[in-house]
Amino acid sequence: MPFELRYRVYWSETDAAGIAHFTNILKIIEKAEEDLYRSKGLYNIQKDLPMRLVVKEVYAKFKSPLRWNDEVSVRVELEESRTRGLKYRFEIVNITTNSLAAEGYIVLVCTKDEGGSLKAAPCPKELIEVWKSTKNT
């Protein structure tokens, strides 16, 4: 089952036109990702797991604007897992207006620090299990 949480759009996340800036929409998605880890007992993923997650790719299609004080539902779901990374889909629904606000995907790569540079590394099974829990079966 996809992981889902609700958030509210804050004034500080909007621009002069009163619309949430696209970078803040990406932050909302990242909050959902972090809350997913917390819900599964990974309170500090950078400390709890022996690797770093790096965003390799982001695709977002914005369908309708989010405005100050809108309530939103954010859903994330594993699309694909590989040895050294994963791809998850996201969907943001504006509950206030009952409309799809954004959808897309994010590709994450598991890495390790080797002499000051990041190198792709196998993802810990704990991380993959967290994401598998979001998959519709």
Domain ranges of the chain: 3-132
Residue ranges in the chain whose pLDDT is less than 50:
none
The DSSP secondary-structure symbol of 12 reads G
pLDDT tens digits, 73-100? 999 999 999 999 999 999 999 999 999 9
pLDDT of residue 135: 87
* Cα–Cα distance, 50 to 136 (Å, whole number): 28
By the 10 Å C-beta count (0-12 exposed, 13-18 middle, 19+ buried), 61 is classed as exposed
pLDDT of residue 137: 59
| pTM > 0.85 | yes
Q: How many degrees, rounded to 5, is the angle at CA 81 between CA 21 and CA 62?
A: 20
Q: The domain 3-132 is classified under which CATH number: 3.40.190.290, 3.10.129.10, 3.40.50.11750, 3.30.110.30?
A: 3.10.129.10
